[in-house]
């Protein structure tokens, strides 16, 4: 017996994964309603205005795009979703500049040979070791991809099984003696939110491979341009969207998801519900009785991941005036990554920041003669949840000063060039996204939480409920954009079967 429903599918949340899931479903003829509590699409992938500046909220370096001649997965995804022609990608030519005052100041170009040369110049005598390390990065990435494509284990080179899950720190220690060189090669670790001693080597291998082989990118018009283009594609295919509307309950019948209730009390029925919000919020919306025991047990053991503390700044000066040579600069106080990671649970002065200039390769946000720069460090939400409300503003601005102190070490004079500044803490991120702790990558992305071992995306245990986004798989832009499409395709396959 078939029952008539208001929609075939409801997607909760218009973050990256919600948008690609909704666009994929609607373009395949599935009548889809997209519901978003904020007034714009994108989740993290948004921008906002302050004074004469537009500020990018979250995107620092987009992976997965690839060049015209060597396209990678996101270009074909955007093509499939009909947005490729409306997006203009802006290439960053360097991976990053990494600075630890008194220790090193190295810029790595985004190509294998250039990066080897730069490292040899900064740390003479290590050329062969760097080449061997990069060869291992390529090999592990190759076999990781083969494993994802279901290559039988017997056909996969043992190097993958020996190296992929080892801590990055151990693999770096195998190759190098110089602590500075190891630190430069590990500089991307905050992008995953786990220090080299806890980070599985394959995570860093994939990231280095992705950025060196397929380059880091910005988007002209910021990540908001991408989010808006995805929404347009969804709407043009006939999809319906409701902004300023939070889903407060997922309705079930005999254990199956059958619709949602909004915060204004209205209910809509649907055959499938795709949730792009966090797992704790999704399952809380089901109500205690409907959460399967397996899910309840799993959730009880999970660790909410790290959030962000960011300064979005409009600077009175061009990147050249201010001394920017690269789009992305990592600045650390010393080489102790474990201590830096521990500091994310305290309010001690920021020990590591990512400085992003959006005008070395311009994305079109800053007025002529000015530039848009963000300073970012990671912080666990729990630290900020403990700050008394009366102390919040003072604490936030005092902590922001510590990021500026660190930025001054690499870009002297940056503080004096500030014309506009907006400061976001983990509480700001939590308020905008509705995620516990304001977590930006979902759960901690260490080896025990890895989606290789906990595939929440496939296992909701609730028929009709599907999960897409950073809480059900890896966080970050490329993974979540791809996750929404993957989950929607899986749903379409079950309909076709
Ligand atoms: C400051 C910052 C910097 C970052 N830097 C990078 C970077 O450089 N590179 C990178 O790859 N990643 C970065 N990230 C992380 C990346 O942006 C996220 O991992 C990714 O965008 C998450 O996408 P998502 O699909 O999980 O959805 P999210 O962006 O988490 O969006 C979820 C959406 O669901 C909506 N929602 C929640 N609950 C409800 C409800 N009940 N009803 C309706 N709607 C609801 C929210 O409003 C939101 O729009 C950064 C994030 C931040 C905040």
1 pLDDT above the threshold of 50: no
Lowest mean pLDDT among 93-102, 163-172, 287-296: 287-296
Q: What are phi and psi of 256, to 5 degrees?
A: -110, 140
Q: Which residue has the higher pLDDT, 289 or 167?
A: 167
The answer to whether 351 and 94 have CB atoms below 8 angstroms apart is no
Give the whole-angstrom CA distance, residue 449 versus residue 205: 18
Q: Are strands 32-35 and 240-242 parallel, antiparallel or unpaired?
A: parallel
Largest CA distance in the chain: 73
Contacts of 316 (CB under 8 A, 6+ apart): 369, 370, 417, 418, 419
Q: 433 CB less than 6 Å from ligand 1?
A: yes
Q: Which tens digits make up the pLDDT trace of 22-48?
A: 999 999 999 999 999 999 999 999 999
Residue 451 above 90 pLDDT? no
- Which tops the pLDDT comparison, 497 or 369? 369
The reported pLDDT for the residue numbered 410 is 98
3-state secondary structure 215-273: CCEEECCHHHHHHHHHHHHHHHCCCEEECCCCEEEEEEECCEEEEEEECCCCEEEEEEE
Q: Share the mean pLDDT of the chain.
A: 96
The answer to whether 329 touches 411, Cβ cutoff 8 Å, is yes
- Give percent of the chain with pLDDT exceeding 70: 99
What's the pLDDT at 149?
87
Query: Residue 53 belongs to what H/E stretch?
Result: strand 53-56
Asked whether the CA dihedral 345, 56, 112, 121 is positive or negative, the reply is negative
SS3 content of the chain, % helix, strand, coil (to 5): 40, 20, 35
Q: What is the CA radius of gyration of the chain?
A: 22
Beta carbons within 10 angstroms of residue 191's beta carbon: 21
- Output the CA 44–ligand 1 centroid distance in Å: 4
User: Nearest 5°: CA angle at 41, between 39 and 45?
Assistant: 120
pLDDT of residue 452: 73
Domains, the chain: 7-52+62-88+222-302+445-496 (3.50.50.60), 108-214 (no CATH), 306-433 (no CATH)
How many whole angstroms separate alpha carbon 432 and alpha carbon 426?
10
Give the position of tokens 């959460």: 291
Q: 120: which residues sit within 8 A by CB, 6+ positions away? A: 126, 127, 130
Pairing status of strand 256-262 against strand 53-56: unpaired
Q: Measured from the CA of 17, which atom of ligand 1 is nearest?
A: 25
DSSP state of 462: S
CA of 477 from ligand 1 middle (Å) equals 8
pLDDT band at 148 (very low <50, low <70, confident <90, very high): confident
Smallest CA separation from ligand 1 atom 12, residue: 476
440 lines ligand 1 (CB under 6 A): yes
Neighbours of 167 (CB within 10 A): 19
Helix axes 112-122, 201-214, angle to 10 degrees: 110
pLDDT digits (tens, 9 = 90+) for 185-244: 999 999 999 999 999 999 999 999 999 999 999 999 999 999 999 999 999 999 999 999
How far is the centre of ligand 1, averaged over its atoms, from the C-alpha of 43 (Å)?
A: 4
Q: Which residues contact 484 (CB under 8 A, 6 or more apart)?
A: 16, 17, 18, 19, 20, 21, 22, 24, 274, 276, 468, 469
Q: Establish whether residue 487 lines the binding site of ligand 1, counting it when its CB lies within 6 angstroms of any ligand atom.
A: no
- Ligand 1 pocket check for 470: Cβ under 6 Å: yes
Residue nearest to atom 38 of ligand 1 (CA): 277
pLDDT over 70 at 312, yes or no = yes
Q: How far apart are the first and last CA of the chain?
A: 17
* HSE-up (13 A, CA, CB side) for residue 150: 0
Q: What is the reported pLDDT for 130? A: 98
Residues constituting the chain: 497
């Amino acid at each position: 017996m078939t029952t008539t429903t208001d929609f075939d599918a409801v997607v909760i949340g218009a973050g990256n994964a919600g948008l690609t899931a909704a666009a994929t479903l609607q373009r395949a003829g599935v009548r889809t309603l997209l519901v978003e509590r904020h007034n714009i699409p994108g989740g993290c992938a948004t921008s906002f205005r302050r004074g004469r500046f537009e500020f990018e909220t979250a995107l620092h370096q987009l992976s997965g795009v690839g060049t015209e001649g060597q396209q990678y997965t996101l270009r074909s995804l955007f093509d499939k979703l009909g947005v490729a022609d409306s997006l203009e990608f802006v290439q960053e030519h360097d991976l990053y500049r990494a600075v630890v005052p008194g220790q090193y100041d190295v810029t790595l170009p985004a190509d294998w040979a250039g990066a080897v040369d730069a490292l040899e110049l900064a740390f003479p005598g290590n050329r062969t070791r760097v080449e061997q390390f990069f060869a291992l990065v390529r090999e592990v990435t190759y076999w990781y991809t083969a494993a994802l494509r279901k290559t039988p284990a017997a056909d996969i080179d043992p190097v993958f099984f020996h190296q992929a899950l080892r801590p990055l720190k151990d693999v770096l220690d195998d190759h190098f003696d110089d602590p500075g060189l190891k630190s430069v090669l590990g500089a991307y670790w905050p992008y995953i939110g786990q220090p080299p001693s806890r980070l599985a080597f394959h995570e860093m291998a994939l990231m280095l491979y992705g950025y060196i082989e397929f380059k880091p990118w910005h988007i002209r018009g910021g990540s908001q341009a991408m989010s808006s283009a995805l929404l347009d594609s969804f709407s043009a295919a006939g999809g319906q969207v409701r902004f300023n509307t939070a889903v407060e309950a997922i309705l079930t019948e005999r254990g199956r998801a059958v619709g949602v209730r909004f915060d204004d009390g209205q209910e809509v029925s649907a055959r499938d519900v795709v949730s792009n919000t966090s797992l704790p919020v999704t399952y809380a919306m089901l109500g205690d009785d409907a959460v399967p025991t397996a899910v309840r047990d799993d959730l009880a053991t999970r660790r909410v991941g790290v959030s962000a503390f960011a300064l979005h700044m409009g600077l009175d000066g061009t990147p050249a005036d201010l001394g920017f040579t690269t789009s992305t600069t990592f600045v650390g106080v010393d080489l102790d990554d474990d201590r830096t990671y521990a500091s994310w649970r305290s309010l001690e002065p920021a020990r590591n920041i990512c400085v992003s200039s959006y005008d070395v390769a311009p994305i079109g946000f800053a007025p002529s003669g000015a530039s848009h720069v963000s300073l970012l460090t990671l912080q666990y939400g729990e630290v900020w949840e403990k700050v008394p409300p009366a102390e919040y503003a003072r604490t936030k601005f005092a902590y922001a000063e510590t990021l500026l102190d660190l930025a001054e070490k690499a870009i002297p004079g940056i503080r004096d060039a500030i014309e506009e500044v907006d400061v976001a803490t983990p509480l700001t991120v939590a308020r905008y996204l509705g995620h516990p702790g304001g977590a930006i990558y979902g759960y901690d992305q260490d080896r025990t939480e890895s989606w290789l071992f906990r595939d929440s995306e496939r296992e909701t245990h609730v028929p009709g409920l599907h999960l897409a986004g950073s809480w059900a798989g890896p966080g970050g832009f490329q993974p979540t954009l791809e996750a929404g499409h993957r989950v929607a395709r899986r749903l379409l396959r079950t309909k076709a079967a």
